Structure 1
Amino acid sequence: MKNKAVILGTNYYIGLSTIRCLGVNGIHTVAVDYSYDNTYGADSKYCSERVIAPHYRKDKEGFIAFLKEYSRKQTATPVLIPCHDSYVEVIDEYLDELKEYYLIPQTEQGLYTKTMDKELLHQLASEHGVAVPETVRLNEENFYEKIEETIKYPCLVKPTDSPTFVSIFRKKLFKVHNRQELDEAVEKAKNANQEVIVQRIIPGFDDHMYTFDAYLNQDSKVTHWVTCNKYRQYPINFGASVYTGQKYVPELYEIGAAFLEAIGFKGFVEIEFKKDAETGKFYLIELNVRITNLNSLLYKVGVNFPYITYRELTGNPVEPKAVERDTNLVFWYAYEDYYAIKGYLRTGQLSLGQVIKSLFKPKAYAIWDPRDPKPFISFVKMIAGKKFKKKSSR
C-alpha cells in the first residue's frame, strides 16, 4: 500500500490505537507531533516513521506549510487522520487547501467545526428533530427566569468551543447549584474570552451515557457502526470514558444514522447520547469528529475505523458491518479509572462491590497490548516522571 497514513498527535492513547489499527494491516504510519516529549504512542512497533512539525496553534501557518511540504515528497497522496480536536479545527480551517495534498474524508469545509461547536450542533440537531438538552444563551431575554423555570438548578455552564475551554480550565464544563455560582462561572468564562451556554442536566447516572460510533462513506451513508454504554467517566459525571462497554442499542442507530446522513457528514464520527432516567428518551449531547477514546474497544469487537477510513479513501472500501449483538467487552483506561473509582466511592455513587465485579469483564485496554508493550512502558515512565517532579517541587 503506497499511501502513507499521517497521524496527528501521539501524546495520547487515541493516536496510539490509530497507529496500531493501521500498522497491523501493513500500512506505513507516520506520527506527527510538535515535540518528542510524552509522545508514547509513537513508540509503538507499528509506527513506521515519526516527524516533528511546528505547533498547530503557536505557528498555524508553519504547521500547514509543513504538512503540504511533507505530502509533496511522497510518491502517493497520504491519508490524513487527526487524533485530537485541536488538530481537527486546524484541518477544517484549511480543508480546501489540504485536500489537494491529502486524502481526507470530509469534503465540506466548516462542517467539522460546526458539529464540534455545542451551540451550532444543537441548533442543527433541533432542525432535524433530534432531542437535545434544554439550553439558554447568555443574551436571551429573561435569562434568570428561564434558568429557574426551565433549566433549574443544578445546571451546566458549557463552552461552545470545547477544546479551547478544556485547555484553559482543564475541565469540560462548570456545574453550578445556584445563581451566585452561575454568575461566577459565566464571569470566569468571559474573562477567558470563552463563549458559553447554560444547559439542563438530563437525569441519570453515568451509565445512562451511550455512544453511536459510525463511518459514513463519500455518499454520506452509514456503512459501519457500533453502539456502546458508558459506565465510568473521569472526571466523574461529566468527563471522558474510562470504563465503557459495547452494547447493542438499535434505537441509537435509528436516531444517529438519520441525523448524520441528513447533514451530509462523511468519515468517522461518534455521537454521545444521554438516556433520560425518568422518560427513557435519548438526548444528543455532543459529537466527536475524530477517532475516539474507545477505538481499541471498537477494533476488538471487529470494526477497525482507522482502517475503514484508509481503505475507502484509497479506493478499496471495506465491506459494510455493524455489531448487532452484545459482546460483553469493555474499554478500560486504568490510570484515570483509578481516580474515577475513588470519586465514585467517595460520593457514594458506586459501592466497592460494584467496582470489583466490573473489573472481571474481558477488556480492550487503552494502552496495554502484550504484542506491543513499549508504549505502555513509556507511559509508565512519563507518569512516574511527572509524579516525581510534582513531589520534588513541594
Structure 2
Amino acid sequence: MNNKAVILGCNYYIGLSTIRNLGVHGIHTVAVDYSEKGAYGAKSKYCSERLIAPHYKKETKKFIRFLINYAREQSAPPVLIPCHDSYVEIIDEHLEELKKCYLIPQTETGLYTKLMNKEILHQIAQENGVKVPETVKVNDENLIEKVENIIKFPCLVKPVDSPTFVAKFRRKLFKVHNIEELKTALEKAKKANLEVIVQRIIPGFDDHMYTYDAYLDQNSKVTHWLTCQKYRQYPINFGASVYTGQKYVPELHEIGATFFEKIGYKGFAEIEFKKDAETGQYYLIEINVRITNINQLLYKVGVNIPYITYQELTGSPVPPKAIEEDTDVRFWCGYEDLYAIRDYVKTKQLSLMSIIKSLLFKPKAYAIWDWKDPIPAFSNSGMIVSKVLKRVLRIPTGSKSNKTKKSI
C-alpha cells in the first residue's frame, strides 16, 4: 500500500487509537503535531513516521503549505485524518487545496463546519425532521421572557463554535440556574467575543445519552454503523465519554441514516442523542465530524472506522457491516473516569457500589492501555504523575534560573 495515512493530532487517545487501527493492517501511519510535548500517541509501535508541523492556528498558511509539500513528495496521495475539531475546521477551510494532493472523504466545502456550528446544525436538523432541544438566540427580543417561559431554568448557555469556546473556558458550556447566572454567562461570552445560544435541558440522567456512529461512502450511503449508550462522562452531565457501552438501538439508525443521507454527508460522523426521560423521544444534541473518544470501542466490536475510511478512499472498500446486537463491550478511560466517579458520588447521582458493579465482568476497550503496545500508556502515565507532583509540591512552571536565562 503506497498511500500513507496522515493523522493530525496525536496528543490525545483519539489519535493514538487511529494510529493503532491502521497500523495493525500494516498501513504506513504518519503522526503530525505542532510539538513533541505530550504527543504520546506518536510513541505507538504502530507509528511509522512522525512530523512536527507549524501550528495549525497560529501559522495556518505555513501549516497548509507544510501538508501540501509533504503530500507532493509521496509516490501516492496520502489519506488525511484529523483527530481534533480544530484540525477539521482548518481542513474544511482549505478543502479545495488539500484535495488536490490528499484523499479526504468529504467533497462539499463547508459542510463539516456547518455541522459543528450549533446554530446552523439545529436549523439543518429541523429542516430534515430531526428533533433538537428548544433554543433561543441571545439577540432574540424578550430573551429573558422566552427563557423563563419556553426554555425554563436550569438551562444551558452553549457555544456556536465549540472548539474556540473550550479553548477559552476549558468547558463545553455554562449551566445556569437563574436570571443572574444567565446574565453572567452571557457577559462572559460577550467579553470573549464568542457567540452563544440558550438551550433547554432534556430531562434524563447521563445514561440517557446515546451515540449513532456511521460511515457513509462516496455516494452518501451508510455502509457501516452501530449505536452506543453513555454511562458516565466527564465533566459529569455535560462532558465527554469516559465509560460507554455498545447498545443496539435501531431507532437511532432510522433517524441518523436518513438525516446523513439527505444532507449528502460522506465519511465518518457521530450523532450524540439524548433520550427524553419523560417522553422517550430522541433529541439530536451535537454531531462529531471526526474520529471520536470511543473509537477503540467501535474497533473492538468490529467496526474499524480509520481502516474503513482508508480502504474506501484507496479503492478497496470494506464490505458493509452493522452491529445489530448487544455486545456489552465498554469503552473505559480510567484516569478521567476517576474524576467523574468522584463527582457523581459527591453529588449523590451514583453510589460507589453501583459504579464498582458496572466495572466488573465487562469486556473493555481501553482508551490508552494495550498489552501489545504499552509505551503510549507509560508515557501518558509519566505526564500525569508529573502534573500531580507539581500540584502537590506547588512547583512553579519555570524555575528561577530558567526565567533569568530567558530574560537575558
Would you call these one fold, judging by a TM-score over 0.5? yes
How far apart, in 2, do the equivalents of 1:390 and 1:90 lie?
35
What's 2:363 paired with? 362
What's 1:249 paired with? 249
What's 1:217 paired with? 217
What's 1:283 paired with? 283
Shift of 1:386: 1.5
How far apart, in 1, do the equivalents of 2:122 and 2:166 lie?
20
How far apart, in 2, do the equivalents of 1:392 and 1:63 lie?
38
Over the aligned positions, Cα root-mean-square deviation in angstroms equals 0.6
- Write out aligned runs for 1:191-230 (5 A): 191-230=191-230
Listed one character per residue, the Cα deviations across residues 112-137 of structure 1 (whole Å, up to 9, x for unaligned) are 00000000000000000000000000
**1:96 aligned counterpart, secondary structure:** helix
What's 2:404 paired with? none
What's 1:164 paired with? 164
TM-score normalised by length of structure 1: 0.99
**1:331 aligned counterpart, secondary structure:** strand
Shift of 1:23: 0.2
Shift of 1:393: 3.0
**1:58 aligned counterpart, secondary structure:** coil
- Write out aligned runs for 1:129-140 (5 A): 129-140=129-140
What's 1:20 paired with? 20
Shift of 1:142: 1.4
Percent of residue pairs identical: 72
What's 2:68 paired with? 68
Shift of 1:387: 1.6
What's 1:234 paired with? 234
The amino acid of 1:385's aligned partner reads: S
Shift of 1:141: 1.3
The amino acid of 1:55's aligned partner reads: H
Listed one character per residue, the Cα deviations across residues 255-301 of structure 1 (whole Å, up to 9, x for unaligned) are 00000000111000000000000000000000000001000000000
The amino acid of 1:182's aligned partner reads: L
- Write out aligned runs for 1:366-377 (5 A): 366-377=367-378
**1:77 aligned counterpart, secondary structure:** coil
The amino acid of 1:367's aligned partner reads: I
How far apart, in 1, do the equivalents of 2:131 and 2:256 lie?
11
What's 1:263 paired with? 263
Listed one character per residue, the Cα deviations across residues 282-340 of structure 1 (whole Å, up to 9, x for unaligned) are 00000000001000000000000000000000011000000000001000000000000
Listed one character per residue, the Cα deviations across residues 74-123 of structure 1 (whole Å, up to 9, x for unaligned) are 00000000000000000000001100010000000000000000000000
**1:307 aligned counterpart, secondary structure:** helix
What's 2:38 paired with? 38
How far apart, in 1, do the equivalents of 2:46 and 2:154 lie?
46
How far apart, in 2, do the equivalents of 1:75 and 1:162 lie?
37
Shift of 1:390: 2.7
What's 2:399 paired with? none
What's 2:177 paired with? 177
- Unpaired runs of 5+ in structure 2? 396-408
- Write out aligned runs for 1:300-315 (5 A): 300-315=300-315
> What is the count of residue pairs matched by the alignment?
394
How far apart, in 2, do the equivalents of 1:180 and 1:161 lie?
24
**2:297 aligned counterpart, secondary structure:** helix
What's 1:52 paired with? 52
How far apart, in 2, do the equivalents of 1:190 and 1:312 lie?
44
Tell me if 1:393 matches 2:394.
yes
What's 2:382 paired with? 381
TM-score normalised by length of structure 2: 0.96
What's 1:104 paired with? 104
**1:273 aligned counterpart, secondary structure:** strand
How far apart, in 1, do the equivalents of 2:208 and 2:394 lie?
41
**1:226 aligned counterpart, secondary structure:** strand
Shift of 1:384: 1.0
**2:75 aligned counterpart, secondary structure:** coil
The amino acid of 2:384's aligned partner reads: I
**1:56 aligned counterpart, secondary structure:** coil
How far apart, in 2, do the equivalents of 1:79 and 1:279 lie?
43
The amino acid of 1:195's aligned partner reads: E
What's 2:9 paired with? 9
**1:146 aligned counterpart, secondary structure:** helix
How far apart, in 2, do the equivalents of 1:230 and 1:367 lie?
18
**1:285 aligned counterpart, secondary structure:** strand
